[in-house]
């Protein structure tokens, strides 16, 4: 019988109406880093020594997150590199660290004011954590869920030339032979993670609480700087360009080619100081020998040289100079020097790009984007050019 005049149907309906409202479904993480780091345990030494911040960039092979070193509040950038995505030719055996990605090896051995500094390297079962210097000034406010700039473009190819080891010396690097990752490259810890040779602190450290979900941070790269300023006056462009040239020249003397020179791979601060980043496409060869030929392109098509666009084999140092020419045009005019790939194949510079350039700047551009790579300016000639 109904209780106090309320039917069973009515009481059930009232109970439903008085129950707690349904909880909203948690939204999907808005950044790649949040998606992959929000719930997984981090390397214990890294987690104890660093506090993660916002995402700086992401791509198919990794993502970069800002962080702070806890002991001294030093801001750093941390690139999380998926082990399964490193191409077969992208591994080297470091004498100290074991098998590591080539880009980590390069940053560890180079030392130049215009190349971002290496700090530490950690790894676990899924990622390498490449801890690097944080450089640059935020140039643009984040725009909601705008897609992040890619870290690098890889085109794995088993037919890539083998990286040749070169004897140590002032003008060359001693490069361990390329190899595939092996379990012996790191030592397993009790919690299932792996500890690289750079992690010297005890793992019995107090791990700070996980920070709030990560968002997309303001970009610090040259691309956004140019977007903010449209184009640079020649004096400023020359200062910025000269720094990048110095970095490429230094690397070339060591036998290192970046292979993805572009505005998005340069970070710049408010004093116009530039540093080259993202060596995910880099290659090392013996600088005492002729540069090897490559048959796959590892960079960005806008910056690809004529021989690459024509489907020919290319030498990395020659292609680097072409990329510098494209970058020079973007610095001075805000535009690529070619209207389309067909024009780039022929080296036909767009008339609207030249504008009010000085004769010296035009001469430098012409030398950089010479279609015949054997007639193209060398990095030494670019460095010694009167405009630079």
Q: Is 40 left (phi over 0), alpha (psi -120 to 50) or beta?
A: beta
**CATH number of the domain residue 352 falls in:** 1.10.510.10
Among 195, 214, 247, the domain-final residue is 195
Cα–Cα distances in angstroms (integers) from residue 85 to residues 58, 106, 124, in the given order: 13, 18, 14
The DSSP result for 236-274, as a single string, is HHHHHHHHHHHHHHHHHHTTEE-S--SGGGEEE-TT--E
Number of domains into which the chain is organized? 2
Q: Inter-axis angle of helices 316-333 and 234-253, to 10 degrees? A: 170
State which of 195, 211, 240 marks the end of a domain: 195
Please give the model's pTM, rounded to 2 decimal places: 0.75
User: Please, are residues 175 and 92 in contact by the beta-carbon 8 Å criterion?
Assistant: yes
- In Å, what is the CA distance from 172 to each residue of 17, 175, 291? 76, 9, 13
On whether both 146 and 248 belong to a single domain, the answer is no
- Asked whether residue 170 falls in the same domain as residue 252, the answer is no
221 forms beta bridges with 267
**Count of alpha carbons within 13 angstroms of residue 240, beta-carbon side:** 28
Same domain flag for 155 and 241: no
Q: Which long-range contacts (CB under 8 A, 24 or more apart) does 67-70 make?
A: 67/131, 70/208
d(CA 329, CA 221): 17
- Considering only CA atoms, which of 311, 314, 329 is closest in space to residue 369? 329
* Residues flagged as binding site: 79
Binding-site members for ATP are 79
Domain assignment present for 81:
yes
Residues 161, 242 within the same domain: no
Residues 253 and 180 in one domain: no
Same domain for 189 and 264, yes or no, is no
Considering the domain architecture, whether residues 169 and 247 belong to the same structural domain is answered as no
Tell me: do 47 and 84 sit in the same domain: yes
Asked whether residue 15 is domain-assigned, the answer is no
Q: What is the pLDDT along the chain (388 residues), one digit of tens a residue?
A: 443 344 444 544 444 445 555 665 556 667 877 888 888 899 999 999 999 999 998 877 899 999 999 999 999 999 999 999 999 889 999 999 999 999 999 999 999 999 999 999 999 999 999 999 999 877 564 444 343 333 332 233 333 333 333 333 334 454 554 554 443 344 333 333 334 444 433 333 333 343 443 444 556 778 788 887 777 889 999 999 999 999 999 999 999 999 999 999 999 888 889 999 999 999 999 999 999 999 998 889 999 999 999 999 999 999 999 999 999 999 999 899 999 999 999 999 998 887 789 999 999 999 999 999 999 999 999 999 999 9
The pair of structure tokens assigned to 328 is: 């020079």
In angstroms, the first-to-last Cα distance of the chain is 96
Which residues span the domain enclosing 237? Answer: 222-384
Q: Which residues are known to be catalytic?
A: 260
């Amino acid at each position: 019988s109904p209780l106090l005049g309320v039917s069973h149907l009515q009481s059930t309906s009232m109970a439903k109406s008085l129950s707690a409202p349904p909880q909203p479904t948690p939204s999907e993480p808005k950044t790649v880093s949040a998606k992959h780091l929000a719930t997984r345990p981090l390397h214990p030494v890294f987690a104890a020594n660093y506090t993660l911040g916002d995402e700086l960039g992401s791509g198919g092979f990794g993502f970069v997150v800002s962080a702070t070193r806890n002991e001294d509040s030093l801001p750093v950038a941390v690139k999380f590199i998926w082990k399964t995505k490193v191409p077969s030719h992208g591994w080297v055996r470091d004498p100290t660290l074991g098998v590591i990605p080539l880009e980590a090896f390069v940053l560890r051995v180079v030392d130049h004011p215009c190349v971002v500094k290496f700090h530490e390297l950690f790894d676990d079962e899924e990622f390498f954590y490449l801890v690097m210097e944080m450089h640059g000034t935020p140039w643009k406010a984040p725009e909601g869920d705008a897609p992040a700039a890619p870290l690098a473009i890889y085109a794995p190819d088993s037919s890539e030339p083998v990286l040749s080891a070169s004897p140590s010396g002032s003008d060359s690097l001693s490069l361990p032979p390329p190899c595939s990752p092996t379990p012996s490259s790191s030592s397993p810890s009790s919690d299932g993670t792996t500890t690289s040779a750079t992690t010297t602190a005890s793992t019995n450290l107090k791990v700070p609480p996980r920070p709030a979900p990560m968002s997309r941070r303001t970009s610090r790269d040259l691309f956004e700087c140019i977007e903010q300023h449209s184009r640079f006056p020649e004096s400023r462009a020359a200062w910025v360009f000269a720094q990048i040239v110095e970095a490429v020249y230094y690397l070339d003397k060591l036998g290192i080619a970046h292979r993805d020179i572009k505005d998005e791979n340069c970070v710049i601060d408010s004093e116009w100081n530039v540093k080259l980043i993202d060596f995910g496409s880099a290659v090392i060869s013996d600088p005492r020998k002729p540069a090897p030929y490559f048959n796959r392109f590892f960079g960005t098509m806008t910056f690809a040289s004529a021989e690459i666009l024509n489907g020919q084999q290319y030498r990395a140092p020659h292609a680097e100079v072409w990329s510098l020419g494209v970058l020079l045009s973007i610095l001075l005019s805000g535009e690529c020097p070619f209207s389309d790939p067909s024009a780039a194949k022929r080296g036909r510079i767009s008339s609207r790009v030249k504008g009010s350039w000085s004769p010296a700047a035009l001469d430098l551009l012409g030398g950089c984007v010479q279609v015949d790579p054997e007639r193209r300016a060398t990095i030494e000639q670019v460095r010694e050019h009167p405009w630079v």
